[in-house]
Structure 1
Amino acid sequence: MARALPGLLRASEAAVAALEGVDQQQSMIARTHALLLTGKYLTQVRQYDMAYFALAESIRLARETGQTQLAATGVVGMGWLLLRQDRFEESEQLASQTAADIEPRISQATASEIAVWGELWLRVAAAARRNNRQDVADHARRMAATAGGALGREHAEFPAHWSAFGPVTAEAKAVEDLALIGDHRGVLRRADDGPLSPKAAKNLGRLSPNNWNRHRLDVASAYVSLGSHQDAMDELISLRETADVWLTHQPMARRVMADILRTRKRTLTADMRQLAAHLGIAG
């Protein structure tokens, strides 16, 4: 991705400069997608200043070309960036205002329109929860659940909608709230029940890989907090098998592993020592 993006950005910029009329309009939309992709990637690798520029420019271009849905998708990405920078109030206000601006008529809206609207409410909830605005967070979770219920199952339709969203995603994020307030038993109670249960996957669909991995880190954290070290290890080992590189970029994974090393009374297993070394944690 890092190797491909500079050429993609140069090419899209050159196309906008060289073309006219409808062709230029289409090239501007293509450049908007390239900038949005760049912003999301840079956020993932914690290059926040450059990510902010790319996302802001993608939102500007989307609005300039009348791509309301794409602009809202850019705001979803910007909300994530602001959240990772602990700029909770800005993230909440931006996502909330955009959700109000694009609020769909459920009976007439496309699935992608409902999904993006639901994702905006997820951003509001996450920011408000971390900013100790419980009432706002609860309202936002209800709105996200409404959007998920209207869809009926997980929805992903790139490029109209960049991330999967639906009732399972809304539930996973509600469980994340329980993790944030330290309700570890609540996390485990809901982690494999209801929309997140294996039985529900057939009717509701599955979480996106990224959301699933993040959810299972919450589960691992709950296990270690309750002293179930081997269950926590099972979660981490499973994540290493399916998302090795992703796992090494997750501070939560390192915190869980560090908690295991600090609180386990018996001798560490070989798996524990290997995973600790993989995550860069001294035993």
Structure 2
Amino acid sequence: MSAGLADNIRKLRRTAGLSQEGLAEAADLSLSTVRKVEQGGHVTMETLHALARALGASTSALFATESPKSVLGPQDKANRRYLAELRRALMPPIGLAAPLSEPGEAEEPSGIRQRVQDGHALYQADRYTSVAQKLPDLLRSSEAAVSTLEGEEQQHAMIARAHALLLTGKYLTQVRQYDMAYYALAEAIRLARETGQTQVAATGVVGLCWLLLRQDRFDESEHLAAQTAAEIEPRMSQATPAQLAVWGELWLRVAAAARRNNRQDEAKQARRMAATAAGALEREHAEFPSHWSAFGPVTAEAKAVEDLALAGDARGVLRRADEGPLSPKAVKNFGRLNTNNWGRHRLDVAHAHVLLGSHQDAMDELVNLRETGDVWITHQPMARRVMEDILKNRKRTLTEEMRSMATHLGITG
């Protein structure tokens, strides 16, 4: 944690007239934790939420002087060459006449969209290196198509390029290259708006809200998602499944940002709105490219369980993790979570096991996630945190499985 965040917490504590002991008691934390926080030591988001609640402030207020930072996962170093090539294709130098970029070969819009669909399938399969390799040429081809084609064909090319940029922004957010991700998503939203593709633009906003959330920009994420949800609110009797899904996802973004920002009433209301959309769908919806993720009753329930995880209610997480729409028996009626949401949900379960001292159960969750998403898990800070807690509390010699997992997650020492 930086000195700026520590200073903000100290100032808010003094403004509230609390001693360190008083703040520890109000936040239900140990005195040593509060002292560590104010000395600039490492602190978890759960601890920050607890401190914000005790101080009567939003969590984002604690970050008032912080500059959001990109976080590189262990695998990003190996992919640095691909990321550098992607940066050149996405953000070339711009001169007085035109961008100084390598010329791409114009491609038919239908071909571009098929390549986007193929790239999205690779992304869903956690083959991030393959995605990174394909994106530069895809971006150059779509840019060339927009420049070369005219009339209606140019409009189709602009829509196809918006899709290419959405895929780029989604991938870059996942691997925490936030500056490039923001640029890609902003361009996708702009092109979609110019061509009257409201659904595509709203999909870009869903992605942008995710990016803002990852940067702890809770106020901005909540406001953007709520404003966009209001603008595209569908008529339930006439809405397509894709429209309901994107609208529901926006409310999930509102809830996630508000919950992390200690705005509990707003989070509850947003969860209710998301549940309305999920209820109208009746089961999970995932039909690319009309909808870029998955949304439905199971996703809504998983995100509600995430609220329990953020509140530190480990028993509540474990109780609801295998009940209702999340239970194995419910798959037939409601469908399944997509891979990413399932992984995040099981990390919440793993963390709950750690909090309750069931370290082997937590380890089992990590092993299962590695088997289904070995690259994905390396980009998840929660996975590293769970593994670090297991290592810290392990009383006996580490197993080979534990050593392997620690190495895979980039944990040393």
Distance in 1, matches of 2:143 and 2:280, equals 38
Aligned length: 283
1:129 maps to 2:259: yes
Any residues of structure 2 matched to 1:87-236 within 5 Å, and which? 87-236=217-366
Equivalents in 2 of 1:181, 1:107: separation in Å?
A: 36
Letter of the structure 2 residue corresponding to residue 271 of structure 1: E
Deviation at 1:277, TM superposition (A): 2.0
- For the residue of structure 2 that corresponds to 1:164, the secondary structure is coil
| Partner Cα separation in structure 2 for residue 105 and residue 13 of structure 1 | 36
Partner of 1:78: 208
Measured on the aligned residues, the alpha-carbon RMSD in Å equals 0.9
Match of 1:12 among 142, 149, 170: 142
C-alpha displacement at 1:276, in angstroms? 1.5
State the shift of 1:278 in Å: 1.8
Report the identity percentage.
Answer: 80
* Amino acid of the structure 2 residue aligned with 1:183: D
AA aligned to 2:133 is: R
Rounded to whole Å, the distance in 1 between the matches of 2:412 and 2:168 is 34
Read off the aligned partner of 1:165 and give its amino acid letter. F
Distance 2:397 2:314 in 1: 25
Q: Deviations over 1:252-283 (max 9, x none)?
A: 11100110111122333222222122212236
Partner SS state of residue 176, structure 2: coil
Higher relative contact order (CA 8 A, sep 6+): 2
Deviations 1:180-233 (A, max 9, x none): 110000000000100000000011000001100110000000001100011111
Equivalent position to 2:381, from 236, 251, 263: 251
Q: Which residue of 2 aligns with 1:271?
A: 401
Separation of aligned partners in 2, 1:124 and 1:231: 32
| C-alpha separation in 2, matches of 1:230 and 1:14 | 53
Please give the alpha-carbon distance, in whole angstroms, between the structure 2 residues aligned to 1:270 and 1:109. Answer: 53
Match of 2:156 in 1: 26
User: Matched residues in 2 for 1:126 and 1:27: separation?
Assistant: 34
Which stretches in structure 2 are left out of the alignment for 5+ residues? 1-130
The residue that corresponds to 1:260 in the other structure is 390
2:394, 2:172 → 1: CA distance? Answer: 36
TM-score normalised by structure 2 residue count: 0.68
What is the alpha-carbon distance in structure 2 between the residues aligned to residue 277 and residue 66 of structure 1? 48
Q: In 1, Cα distance between the equivalents of 2:212 and 2:178?
A: 9
The superposition leaves residues 99-132 of structure 1 with CA deviations (integer Å, 9 ceiling, x where unpaired) of 0000001111000000000000010011111111
1:232-257 deviation line (CA, Å, top 9, x unaligned):
11100101111111111111111001
Q: Given residue 151 of structure 1, which amino acid in structure 2 is its aligned partner?
A: L
Q: Which runs of 5+ in 1 are unaligned?
A: none
**Which residue pairs with 2:89 in the alignment?**
none
Report the Cα offset of residue 89 of structure 1: 0.6
Q: Which runs of 4+ in 1 moved over 3 A?
A: none
CA distance in 2, matches of 1:271, 1:32: 43
Matched residue of 2:397: which SS? coil
SS at match of 1:46: coil
Distance (whole Å) between structure 1 residues aligned to residue 138 and residue 404 of structure 2: 39
Aligned equivalents of 1:158, 1:40: Cα separation in 2? 14
TM-score relative to the length of structure 1: 0.98
Give the partner amino acid of 1:41: Y
